[in-house]
Amino acid sequence: MAASEPVDAVLVCGGKYHDMDHARLELLKHLAEHDEVRTQVACDYRDTDAIAAADFLVTYTCDVRPSEAEQQVLAEFVRSGKRWLALHGTNSILVFDGMPPFQTPRSHPVFMETLGSQFLGHPPIAPYTVTRCSDDPLVADIEPFEVEDELYLCEYHEPLEPLLDTRFTGKAPGFAEDDWSDDAPRLVMYRKSVGEGAVLYLTLGHCRGHYDMRPLMDYYPQVERGAWELPVFHELVRRGLRWAIRG
């Protein structure tokens, strides 16, 4: 693709329990650093024609569930040779019937297989250390860093290429699958090849404002910005976007 040609992107940003306005604005700022990128914005996956026509896809969602047809479009999008940068809660499905805990049903297998993981829970937000587990250029020179963010506990769909990880052993209160006593690496960033294309997943990026827990809570007392406050997170997003754009 010639440098002078436009590159079409779709940004899907929407869902529950997070400050989607903050995430959307920050991601659009990063996309705007690339003069050649033209971005359409959506809150879900319904515009399958726009997704199929895009050169790359960026997603930041929570409990946004693609239909069966939409799952197939997403899978074919990647299989055809394109790239998908997925952030934070893209791999989450949450069912809450008014009483704890949150259920995380395995109801969207094509979606999760394409992404490479499914969110099952997280411990209470607290600082943890992220370390590099690859020499890949996407994480080259990234030193270990501490972040106060949601530490994602996931079911993985191999094969994956781990890039960043952390360690956690303990409980994830409030989620149906709350026992994480195994001492397995918890992936923070990985890449998954799907057909001729690939998904790059970064679990960091939690953010929440005062009004983002409705209807569970009218007013959330603390504004949370998680990894968005760290320069290293923005560097990882920039690298991920360059990877996606150059597909």
* Alpha-carbon span 123 to 46, nearest angstrom: 32
The pLDDT profile of the chain, 247 residues, written as one tens digit per residue, is 455 699 999 999 999 999 999 999 999 999 999 999 999 999 999 999 999 999 999 999 999 999 999 999 999 999 999 999 999 999 999 999 888 899 999 999 999 999 999 999 999 999 999 999 999 999 999 999 999 999 999 999 999 999 999 999 999 999 999 999 999 999 999 999 999 999 999 999 999 999 999 999 999 999 999 999 999 999 999 999 999 999 6
Check: CB of residue 182 under 8 Å from CB of residue 146: no
Q: Are strands 185-194 and 161-167 parallel, antiparallel or unpaired?
A: antiparallel
> CA torsion sign, 208 to 212 to 217 to 223?
positive
For residue 198, what are the β-bridge partners? Answer: 83, 193
DSSP string over 179-243: EE-S--EEEEEEEEEETTEEEEEE-----B-TTTTTTT-S--SS-B-GGGG-HHHHHHHHHHHHH
Q: Are strands 37-42 and 7-15 parallel, antiparallel or unpaired?
A: parallel
**Residue 51 identity:** I
For 85-102, the pLDDT digits (tens) are 999 999 999 999 888 899
For residue 121, what are the β-bridge partners? Answer: 153
Check: CB of residue 129 under 8 Å from CB of residue 141: no
State whether residue 26 is helix, strand or coil.
helix
Cβ-count burial of 24 within 10 angstroms (0-12 exposed, 13-18 middle, 19+ buried)?
Answer: middle
Catalogue all structural domains in the chain, each as residue range(s) with its CATH number.
7-120+188-245 (3.40.50)
